[in-house]
Amino acid sequence: MPSHMRAALKSISLRASHKGTPRDQYKMTDKTDGNNYRSAQGYNDNIANPCRDGLYAFVDTVIRTVVEAHKDIQPLTLFHFGGDKIPKPALQAMKCKDNKTDLMQLFIQRFFQKKQFTNVSFGAWEDSFLKPDKTPYTIESMGNIAQENRSVYAFVYQEENKALFKLANSGYKVINSPDSLYHFDHPYNKDTDERGSKWATEFINTKMVFAFDPLQGKDGYGELKKPKNIVGVQAHMWTGLVQTTDQLEYMMFPRLIAFAERAWHHAASWHETNNVTDMERDWIEFINHLVYKEFPKLDKLNVHYRIPPPGAIIKDGKLHVNTYYPGMTIEYSVNNPGQTKQWYKVTGDETLSEPIILRTLSTDGKRHSKEIELDRSIW
């Protein structure tokens, strides 16, 4: 809220058309709001107007229901309201009469004061807490939340905002979740056959996840004065292009294991010194553990982690292969279209004169990677 609300807006509109239903009880838009914008999903009708009282009536009803559902089992302590990706033209069209406050700040102020939120902290994407000039709103500007000993969690995902340190220094509890590293709906590499969207970056491989330092700033970030306010990291798996459990597991593993490694263990020795040799040593240790310990566990659990295809060249007449992870078995077959493939384990002694295809096997030998054809132009 208030963006990404198309389902709610359409549902409330249909509800209002029913006989006997109060027409304006939850009205969250105005005819004058305009539609000269496009959301990331291509919509021009998915944003609620922070000027409308109906939006806050809707929030009251939804949150009261959620709090009630949780209270006897696991009382609600944190509510993430979204707040991201609101196109500027949309906010510019939604002007409240006599309101001098930025609309996003107005929404937050009214949202945070709901009585249902006693003892509940709030979270949202960084967009919600940044002014147009990219400086953070003060915690105090959000009302009495600071005095009530509640926290405001900012989920940072856009590196271009350079907000990681600014939000932490301003008193927010920050969760680092860069979209170019921790959003696992992206492909593993640039291969056009790889599943994934490319809205943040072209690809995210396992090594990139492993090597990232969540506490490391970049040019323009300034000084981190309150490091304890960076309280964690979070990975995401958006499933817009995922249709099966196997596909979900493929996108998540083994990147999620690399994420977990970095979440609990700060590799200070090479993060702070930028020592590439130390990083490579840790990476080799990690991927060996991955292949010989973690992949067999995932195989037993029938988790369909991604098996990277092999690399191969013909050198001095012999087949030479490698794998992204060490120790994984590679097989080859003569590439005769229309004939049944006969697979053979690569030993390193093969002298080949026919076109071949290759694949990498899972550690239990039951699954394999994408099959690749060795390009004859390099023979």
CB burial readout 359-376, b (16+ within 10 A) else e: bbbbbeeebbbebbebee
Contacts of 311 (CB under 8 A, 6+ apart): 321, 322, 323
Question: Residues 233-289: pLDDT tens digits?
Answer: 999 999 988 999 999 999 999 999 999 999 987 766 676 666 778 889 999 999 999
Q: What is the pTM of this model?
A: 0.86
Nearest to 210 by CA among 181, 187, 231, 232: 181
Placement of tokens 């807006």 in the chain: 9
For position 364, what pLDDT does the model report? 96
Q: 2 preceded by cis ω (within 30°)?
A: yes
- Cα separation, 4 vs 257, whole angstroms: 30
- Cα separation, 72 vs 80, whole angstroms: 20
Question: Residues 41-93: pLDDT tens digits?
Answer: 788 888 898 888 899 899 888 888 888 888 899 888 888 989 887 777 676 67
Does the pLDDT at position 325 exceed 90? yes
- Cα separation, 226 vs 238, whole angstroms: 31
* Class in CATH terms, 311-378: mainly beta
- Cα separation, 254 vs 287, whole angstroms: 10
The string of DSSP codes covering 326-347 is TT--EEEEE--TTS----EE--
For position 35, what pLDDT does the model report? 73
How many CB atoms within 10 Å of residue 56? 18
Question: Residues 336-355: pLDDT tens digits?
Answer: 877 888 999 998 888 777 88
- 135 token code pair: 């400086």
Pick the CATH number of 77-289 from 3.20.20.80, 3.30.70.360, 3.40.50.300, 3.30.420.40: 3.20.20.80
Nearest to 159 by CA among 207, 220, 237, 208: 220
Question: Which of 14-18, 226-230, 302-306 bottoms out in mean pLDDT, i.e. has the lowest?
Answer: 14-18
State the burial class of residue 110 (Cβ atoms within 10 Å of its Cβ: 0-12, 13-18, 19+).
Answer: middle
- Cα separation, 129 vs 136, whole angstroms: 6
What residue segments make up the domains of the chain, in order of their start?
77-289, 311-378
For position 146, what pLDDT does the model report? 60
